Chains A and B, each alone.
Chain A
C-alpha cells in the first residue's frame, strides 16, 4: 500500500495557538481535521507538509447551532455525518443537507468535515496520481512543474473545484468565518474561492476556516443535484445548486451555482437574473438549463467525456430547479 511520509503532528490547545502554529510553520504546514482529502494526497506525495496542525479536537470549531429562524452556524470540524443527523439543520437547510449527504461514502462522511469539504483541494486526473505516475507523466503546474499537462500552452492550472457543499453554500449566500493572525473575519463563501486550480482558496498564511454560517431561509428553497458515475463514493462530475424564492409561481429571487466545471464554484447570476418576476414553468427551466450548459466549460481532466459532462449540466440544472421548486419552504419553528 501507499505509505504516509514522515511529518510532525501538533495538537494546539486553542484556536489561537493553532493559528500561531500555522503562521510559524508557513508553507511547510497544513491543518488537518478529518484528513480524508489530505492524507491520501500525502500518500501520493502530491503534498508533503512537514507539520500537521490538528484542529478536529478544538471546541471552537465543533459546535452546531440552528436558530428558530433557521439560520445555522456549523463548526468547521463537525463531521458531515454529525451534521446530517441534526434534525433542525435538515429541516431548515435542506439544500445544504442534501449536498453534504452526497459527499463520498458513509465511511468518509463519518470522518470528513464541513470545513474540509468546503476547502477540498481541486482535482485533476493529471494531478491526483501517485508520485511514480507523475514522474512518468512529468510534473504539472500544481506539482511545481512548468507545464499544464491538460493544456500545455496554458499559463494557469485547470484543476477542478470538487466540493459538493461549496456550490450550495454560495447559492445560499453563506458566510465563512476565518480565524487568522489578525483575528477573525467574515468572508462570503463566494469570496473564499479563486479561479486558479493551483491556489483555489483565498486564505492567507495562518488562516483557518472555523465556521460556516447559513442564513435563515426566509422563504428561500434550495436544492443540489450531483452528477457522478456511481451511486456513491465518486467526486462530482458536475454539480448544480439552486436557491429559489417563489411567490405564487413567480420567481422573486434565484441563485444558480455550478460545481466541478471550473476551478471554483461558478455562480451564474446574469443567466438567472432574467427569471426574476417570471413564472417558473418548464420552458423557463429549460432555457436557464440550456444557458448553464452553454456557459459551463468542463475540460478533459475528470471521469467520462467532457462533452457529455457539459451536456449533462443542462440536465442537472433542470433537475435542481424542479427539485427546488417542488420542495417545501421550511416552516419557521
Chain B
C-alpha cells in the first residue's frame, strides 16, 4: 500500500498546479540557479536564500492555485483599499532611500506597498467589471480609469516611474480586454505622444538622464552610460554560444552592476550566448502562450480579465527588463521574472501565477 499512498499525496500536491506552466517555470528556475551561482561569485549563501524564496513562492502559488477565483475575487476591494491607504501612508510617513520614498516601516518589517498594487489593482478593476457585467456602460469605464489613476499617481509621486507604469499598465490591460473602444485607445496614444514634451518637463533629473543615456550612452561612458555600455559588451561578447558557465569576464571582473538583480540577464547572456537567450525567450513565450490559452478558456468575465492582465504584465516585466539590459529601453528598476535575485518580487509573481492557474482550473 506504500506506493499508492505516496502517489495519492503527490497527486494532492500536484493537482492545482498547471502542468504546462510548471514545466516552463522549472526550466527558468534551473537557468536562474546556474546564473545566480555565477553572478554572486559562487555564493552558497545567495543560493540558500534563493531556495528559501522558491519554497515560499511554491507554497503561495499552491495556495492561490487551490483557492476558487470567485472566493479570491471578494478580497479585491479590501486589498485594493488597503493598498491605497498604505500608499498614502508612504506619502506621509515613508522611508526615503536614494531620493525616493517607496518604503513603509511597520516596526518589524519594511514593506513596499506599490508591490502589493501590482496585483491588487488588476484584481480590483476586474472585480468591478464583473460586478456590473450586465449593465456596463461608459460611466463604468470612467470609474475604472479613476481606480487606476489614484494608485498610479501616488506611486508616480514617490517618485517611481517604472513601477507606476507597470501598475497602470496592468490596469489598462483589464480595460483593454473589457472592450475599451479602439477610438479611445488610439486617441489616448496620440494624446500621450503629444504630451511627451510636457512630461519631459515633469520628469526628475535622474529620469531624464536615463532617457538621454539610452539615446546615446557614449555621451558619458564613465558616468551614466557606463552600466548600459558594459552590459551591452557583456551580451555582445557572449556571441552565439556564450563564454561558458562561470567564465564571463565582464561578470567576474566587476564590470556589470547589480549583477544578481536587475542586470542578471547580462550575466546570463555573456555566459550562455545567443543560444541561451533564445532558449530563455522560448521559455518565457511558453508561459505567455499558456497564459493566453487560460485567458481564452476562462469562464467568467473576472477570470478572463484578470488572466489576461496577469499574462500581459508578465510579458511587460520580461520585455522591459531584457530591453533595458540590451540597451533598447531606459534603465528602470524592473526585475526579470524568476531570474532576478529577490524575495518580494518572486513571491508576488508567484501569487499572480497562482491566481492564473486557479482560473485555468475552474471549469464551468
B and A form one assembly:
no
A residues in contact (CB < 8 Å) with B: none
Q: Using CB atoms and an 8 Å cutoff, list the residues of chain B in contact with chain A.
A: none
